[in-house]
Structure formats: C-alpha cells, structure tokens
Structure 1
Amino acid sequence: MLYITGITPSLSQLTYETTISLIKEAKERGITVIFDPNYRKKLWNQNEFKKFYKKIAKDIDILLTGSSEANILFGSKTNEEIVKETDAKLLVIKDGSNGAFFANHEESFFKEAYKVKEIDSIGAGDAFAAGLIYGIQKYNIDDLSQLSKYALAMGALATTSYGDFYGLPTLNELNQFLNHQLSDVER
C-alpha cells in the first residue's frame, strides 16, 4: 500500500510532483493507493487543494477523509452522494468522536465511535488510519464490518493519553479492547 497525505504535496513543487509520480508508479505496479487529505489551510488554499485532489482522484483506491475535508472536496453533499462521485474502492469519512462513515461498492454505513475517557485527541486521525490499514491487511478492503472496528478502536484508544503516540495500544491490547469492549486499555 502507498499511503499519501495532503501535507506532502503542499510543501513544495518538488514534493507535489514527487507525490504525483509516486501515485502513478504505485498504480502501474498494482499497489493500493490510500489518500488521506489531512488538509492544512496554512499550507495551501482550498482551490489548490481541490485541484490536486482532482488530479489524483482517478488513481485513489481508498479515500480516507475527515468530514470537513470532504466538505471542501465535494461541497455540502451527503455521504451517500459522495460515494457516487468517487471512483475509490473504499470511502471512509471520519467524524471525530461521533464515529465514521464506511462505504465500498457493496455496502455503506455509519458506525459510532467507541466511548472512552478522552484525554487528548492529537494523533487520533493517524491512529485511525493505522487501524484501517491493519484491518484491510487482516481481512480485506471489502470487509467493512471488521476493518471499521480496528479503525475506530485505534482512533478511540489514541485519545486516552496525551500526545501523538503514547495512547497507541499493542496489538494484544487492541484485540483485548475489541473482544471485551473495554472502555480503556489496562497499561
């Protein structure tokens, strides 16, 4: 898999062109391309951001976006309308502590977030992405039920401590959380 965020192409013309080249190379090699917009208004304006997305949209297999980023890219459309507008094999639209919308060509649903004692949300989006990738690797892109559990659990658990990565669980802790529906991981 190739995981690309919207940060890298916004840093310079070289990183913009390199990102495009990486995506093209990945597609030629049959590598799954994941795009997480991770929009930062200090790095580029919305028009540049949308222009970049349109340039790569046909090559994206998985679009992993936040609801505010989806609004920038697609306007005020419903999640179901966005599904029809994207060629991605998997669409995930995160909505923070509310949960996330998951859709492929077979099904779509909104799944609520796991309830945990939130301390700090920094790093939750990255943890969510890691959980999604793990779920895809373990099950496959079509098993929304399973991959959504891992994504939402990782995102939730990342908020149970301060900082970017301190709340990330081990695989054993993650499975314990999922299997026992614990509200927190014992550390």
Structure 2
Amino acid sequence: MNLLHRRTTKVVTFGELLLRLASPGYTKLFQKDNLETSFCGSEANVAVSLALFGLDSSFVSILPDTDVGHAAENYMRYFGVDTSKVLYRDGRMGIYYLEKGASQRPSKVIYDRKYSALSLAKSNDFNWEIIFDGADWFHWSGINPALSDELAEVSLEACKKAKEKGLIVSCDLNYRSKLWTSKKAQEVMKPIMKYIDVCICNEEDAENVLGIKAEGSNVEDGKLNESSYIRTAELIHEKYGCKYIATTLRKSYSASRNGWRAMLYDTKTDKTFLSREYDIQIVDRVGGGDSFAAALIYAVGFGMEAQEAIEFATAASCLKQTVEGDFNRCTVQDVEMLLKNGGNGRVQR
C-alpha cells in the first residue's frame, strides 16, 4: 500500500505555534489563581510526534521576536524537531485557553490569535524551494488559511511547490468554527484540495470544509454510520483525487469517556480498512487528531500495509488522549506494546 517509491525520512510541517494556558486539572477557567503553560499547535503537535518516532521532522512557522517566542522554539527543539526554518517577525504569540471537561461538562477552548506573528505572514516570507530541499512529505492543516487571507495564499503556494518537487502532501482539514465560517472554509479549501494526496478529517470536517455529509451519523448521541463514512471518502476521492482518505470515528459518551477508532480508504485498491475500537478514559483529548495524523504519516511513509497502518495510527492517538498536554509523548515502542497487549493497560515490568 506504500504511497511512496522510497521510505519517508524527512517531513516538513507548517503552522502556528501557540501558547496554551490551561486551568489546573479539571477545574474551570480561573477557578484557581494560576494557569498551566505549555506550547502547542496542530502542525507542531505532528512535528513532535514524528520526531519521537525517529523521523527527521522539520517545523516551519513565524514567531514573535520576544522571550516567549524563543521559549516556544526551544520547546520544540527539546523534542528533536528541526526549527532552523522558523522565522521571527513582528506580531504577537497566538494563545489559546483550555478548560478540560469531565463527565457531562464539555471541554472548552478560547482562542486569542488575532494579529499573531504567523497570521501576519506574507508570501515572500517563505522560500519553499529551500524549505523543501531533501524532504519527502509536507503536512499542514486547514487551520492555517483560517487565520488570514494572506496565509491562505501562502498555504496554496506551499502545496504547489511541494507537488512540483515531488513531495507527498497531507492535510488535516481541522475545521474550527471559532476561526471562520463553513462558507469561507469551502471557498478557500476546495481549490487547494487538488494538491492533497492524503486527506485526514472527521465527519464534521468533511461537512463544513468540503460540503460532504456523512448521512445517518450523529456525533451528539454517539451514533456513527460506518457505511456513510465510506461513501464520504469515495466522494472526496472522486471530487479531489486524494489517494488516501483517513477518518477518525469518535463516539462521545461523555467528556471523560470516548469510543475511538478510525478508517482508511485506499483508492488504489478501492478498499476500506477499519481499526479496532478503543474505549478511552480521557485524560486530555486535545491533540488526539494530530497524533493520529503523525502516526498515519509514519505508518504510510514506512510502507505499512493499510490495515497495519490504520491500526498503528489509531493506537497512537488512543495513547495520546491519556497524556496531559497537546503533544503525544509516546514512542513507536509504546504504540507497538498497546497493539500487542490489546489495550488492557496492564503494568509493564
């Protein structure tokens, strides 16, 4: 099922690095007089996972030339991510506030990203010819073009250059209703989709970004119609030519307990592959989709067969949701152990 003619060794990710301010534990925002700090961001989360999996992982972004901006870059470097293409410009650090939910109380995210350094980016800030030198794979998400019209143009330019240089391009649609409308998302993203080889999404992303609805599913009551997801993947391929479409299938029983599995549609064989389902007691679900994307990139890039690839990606993202913070700090060995023991959570001695 290998998408590549050679094994993936270097992946470039492009996106915004954010400061995360989270209420301690499961308290409500400002219930206590302190917030826990860390750095994160969709593509940054992917970059860290890939570095921990042992790949050459490069992260491209723009940060403010302040102590906070430099601390954010150092945070990425700690995990082995190549940040040599990170730029420093005017603007501010993008922030998001997180209140983790529990039981029937949902998690809550508040964005504070306007006028961030990356959102003010211009096309001439990035030399994609140099950035993509020696790379095999380019990953980004639909969050980028939601930040500004200029960044939407930058995202398109990056995809065009990546395809010109023979890179595999993956995109996690990542629709964020607090950043833009579904109408705007479709206007911007549909023309870019023809450059995407691997499309990653959930049912809400497909509907809001591409206007393709998974009939018969209701994420609010936990009902998922698997056949509709297969048809959705087929339509994405028919309309945009993506070679692989991966969909995460989350059953939200409560904020504390989710059912988690995923699907991979391989257009070359016209076959669909479903992973096993995990019953997760959630610790921190933010970044779960990003860990899935990273593990899928790793699995496909290493030539795993389709069923093996989707099992690996689902297991990795299951583990992430038991880890505090946006980053998945699990290794390939951790994922393989979960796959081997069937998810029983027994102590490893």
Deviations 1:123-150 (A, max 9, x none): 111111111111112225xx21111011
Deviations 1:19-71 (A, max 9, x none): 00000001111111101011111111101111222111211101100111112
Higher share in strand: 2
Residue 287 (structure 2) aligned to one of 123, 128, 146: 123
Is 2:278–2:343's contact at 8 Å kept on the other side of the alignment? Answer: no
Deviation of 1:152 (Å): 0.3
Q: Please tell me the residue identity of whatever aligns with 1:46.
A: S
Is 1:127–1:168's contact at 8 Å kept on the other side of the alignment? Answer: no
Is 1:117–1:184's contact at 8 Å kept on the other side of the alignment? Answer: no
* Aligned residues with identical type, % of pairs: 27
The aligned counterpart of 1:163 is 325
Residue 104 (structure 1) aligned to one of 256, 266, 277: 266
Deviation of 1:82 (Å): 2.2
Task: Normalising by structure 2, report the TM-score.
Answer: 0.49
Residue 7 (structure 1) aligned to one of 138, 143, 153: 143
Higher share in helix: 1
The aligned counterpart of 2:99 is none
> Which structure would you say has the larger Rg?
2
Within the alignment, does 1:18 sit opposite 2:151 as a pair? no
Q: Please tell me the residue identity of whatever aligns with 2:249.
A: D
Is 1:34–1:62's contact at 8 Å kept on the other side of the alignment? Answer: yes
Deviations 1:133-183 (A, max 9, x none): 11112225xx21111011101110011132212x53122222222222243
Q: In the aligned structure 2, how far is the partner of 1:116 from the partner of 1:150?
A: 16
Is 2:273–2:307's contact at 8 Å kept on the other side of the alignment? Answer: no
Q: Which has the higher contact order (CA 8 A, sep 6+)?
A: 2
Alpha-carbon RMSD: 1.9
Is 2:262–2:274's contact at 8 Å kept on the other side of the alignment? Answer: yes
The aligned counterpart of 2:245 is 91
Q: In the aligned structure 1, how far is the partner of 2:174 from the partner of 2:157?
A: 19
Is 1:35–1:63's contact at 8 Å kept on the other side of the alignment? Answer: yes
Q: Cα–Cα, structure 1 residues 171 and 110, in superposed 2: closer, same or farther, change >3 Å?
A: closer
Q: How many residues were matched structurally? A: 184
Q: In the aligned structure 2, how far is the partner of 1:124 from the partner of 1:171?
A: 16
